[in-house]
Amino acid sequence: MLVPFPSVCFVGAFFTDLAYWGTAEMMWADFSAWLLFAGVVLGCLALVAGLVDLGQRRYVVTQAPIWPHVLGNLVALGLAILNCFVHSRDAWTSVVPQGLILSALVLIVVLTSNWIGWSVLVYRRRVVEVRP
């Protein structure tokens, strides 16, 4: 249940990067930096909760789609951490072009990983059901 929060932060960071690219208003770069930081913190909390969940429910580990979902979220979190460092620079170079490219990559990985998690694992395989 924690995964949507960092996902929304990363999506918002991408759109605020686009806004900064179009307007050069420093406010948008600041919003991006804060959204990325919040997404990384919340992503780390979701990672810990997900690892605990995997450790407690062994039948989830046997589901083949779990590994692309887990690895996708780890890749997204790593790219977001890198993007935080890029966004810590000053002004235009904090967003254009590296920050914008990293935000787009994080967005693509997060959306793909979340689709795998929701569509394949939850909707089709019902891994959220409580089993004895």
User: Does residue 129 fall inside a structural domain?
Assistant: no
Question: What pLDDT is stored for residue 131 in this prediction?
Answer: 45
Domain of residue 99: give its range. Answer: 4-124
Is 77:50 a contact under the CB 8 Å cutoff?
no
User: Does residue 71 fall inside a structural domain?
Assistant: yes
User: Does residue 130 fall inside a structural domain?
Assistant: no
User: Does residue 132 fall inside a structural domain?
Assistant: no
User: Does residue 72 fall inside a structural domain?
Assistant: yes
For the stretch 60-118, pLDDT in tens is 667 777 888 889 999 999 999 999 999 998 877 889 899 999 999 999 999 999 888 77
Take residue 116 and report the two structure tokens written for it.
Answer: 């795998």
Question: What pLDDT is stored for residue 122 in this prediction?
Answer: 63
Q: DSSP string spanning 15-83?
A: HHHHHHHHH--HHHHHHHHHHHHHHHHHHHHHHHHHHHHHHH-HHHHT-TTHHHHHHHHHHHHHHHHHH
User: Does residue 109 fall inside a structural domain?
Assistant: yes
- Say yes or no to pLDDT of 126 above 70: no
For the stretch 4-51, pLDDT in tens is 899 999 999 999 999 999 999 999 999 999 999 999 999 999 999 988
Take residue 103 and report the two structure tokens written for it.
Answer: 């935000």
Question: What pLDDT is stored for residue 130 in this prediction?
Answer: 45
- Say how far apart CA 92 and CA 3 lie, in whole Å: 30
Number of domains into which the chain is organized: 1
Q: Kindly report the pTM of this predicted structure.
A: 0.87
